Structure 1
Amino acid sequence: MSRRDDAAGADIGAALYGLATRAARRLPRDMSLTSAATLATLDRTGPRRITDLAAVEGVTQPAMTTLVRVMEESGLVERQGNPSDKRVTLVSLTEAGAAYVRTRHQAGVQAFERLIGELTGDEIAALMAALPALRHLAELENQDRDGPKR
């Protein structure tokens, strides 16, 4: 990578990070960011072990166990046996958990739609041109974040 590419990467990274953190702060505070992220991970990847979820979300296994218990009591997740290994318990979304993820996602989309409505035609065209790169970045981030599925 050249110095120019390094500088562009830093500028783009700073812009995306700033946008993402401000967007996260605007979301409803009806649950912790870790809980919401865990639900989103389960929605994206399917059922996971508690140890896998802890690693993906960057918390300890006991903390994830507590988080899962609270979300289970709220009806957002359920524990189920793994058909291929009876010793393993998997955590999966319930319909209520999936609905929560969809509602939160839609609220985020709508917030960005309102902001995009304030842009000029040229700015919207620039974002449209960047969509393939942004989607690829999201895929790379998901691969990096989710790690191997067991």
Structure 2
Amino acid sequence: MTDELDVDRLTTVIEDFNTIFIRLPSVRRFNFSTLSVLHTLGRRGPLRLTDLLATEQLKQPALTSLVAKLEQDGLIQRRPDPTDGRAMLLSLTRTGREIVRSRHANRVKRLTDLVDQLTPVERAVLAGSVHVLTRLTEIAAEDRQ
């Protein structure tokens, strides 16, 4: 199925792009795990800790500790799950949402600056790839379930 696609090269290109793209200058420095949790809660939250555990590459004790630190730092909050009073939902605070929004805005600006340097043909190819990348993300999410 992948005869016409060099998946090894595609993987390397994605890794190289991510290396450049995820390392944005920021007023506040956060480690990758912190940013991943904030991003996940920004996109999919509120979530239970067990649901968050399924999306993050951390063991439960490490994630529990990270969540406690983020709560102490005022970036996330806990509230009772309305469907199960014994469980808690994690969500971003206003400050947490602002960090996620600011990083997204920085990425949009950075990518806009890069895309503006492409030729019209290259921009058209890139525009056509948005659907394919979205579809790959959906397939990966389905595989996790």
Q: Classify the TM-score, shorter chain.
A: 0.7 to 0.9
Structure showing the higher helix proportion among its residues: 1
Q: Deviations over 1:104-134 (max 9, x none)?
A: 1111111111111111222112112222212
TM-score, length of structure 1 as denominator length: 0.83
TM-score, length of structure 2 as denominator length: 0.86
1:18 match: 16
Task: Please tell me the residue identity of whatever aligns with 2:35.
Answer: A
Cα displacement (A) at 1:11: 2.4
Q: Describe how 1:1-150 pairs up with structure 2 within 5 A.
A: 1-2=1-2, 4-5=3-4, 7-28=5-26, 30-141=29-140, 143=141, 147=144
Cα displacement (A) at 1:39: 1.0
Secondary structure class of the residue paired with 1:65: helix
Q: Deviations over 1:82-103 (max 9, x none)?
A: 1111111121111221121111
Task: Please tell me the residue identity of whatever aligns with 1:87.
Answer: R
Calculate percent identity across the aligned residue pairs.
33
How many residues of Structure 1 are paired with residues of Structure 2 in the alignment? 144
Cα displacement (A) at 1:27: 4.8
CA RMSD, 1 decimal: 2.1
Q: Distance in 1 between matches of 2:88 and 2:39?
A: 19
Q: Distance in 2 between matches of 1:118 and 1:111?
A: 11
Answer with 101-110 or 19-28: which moved more: 19-28
The answer (yes or no) to whether the contact 2:34–2:66 under 8 Å persists in 1 is yes
In structure 1, runs of 5+ residues without a counterpart are: none
Runs of 4+, deviation exceeding 6 Å: none
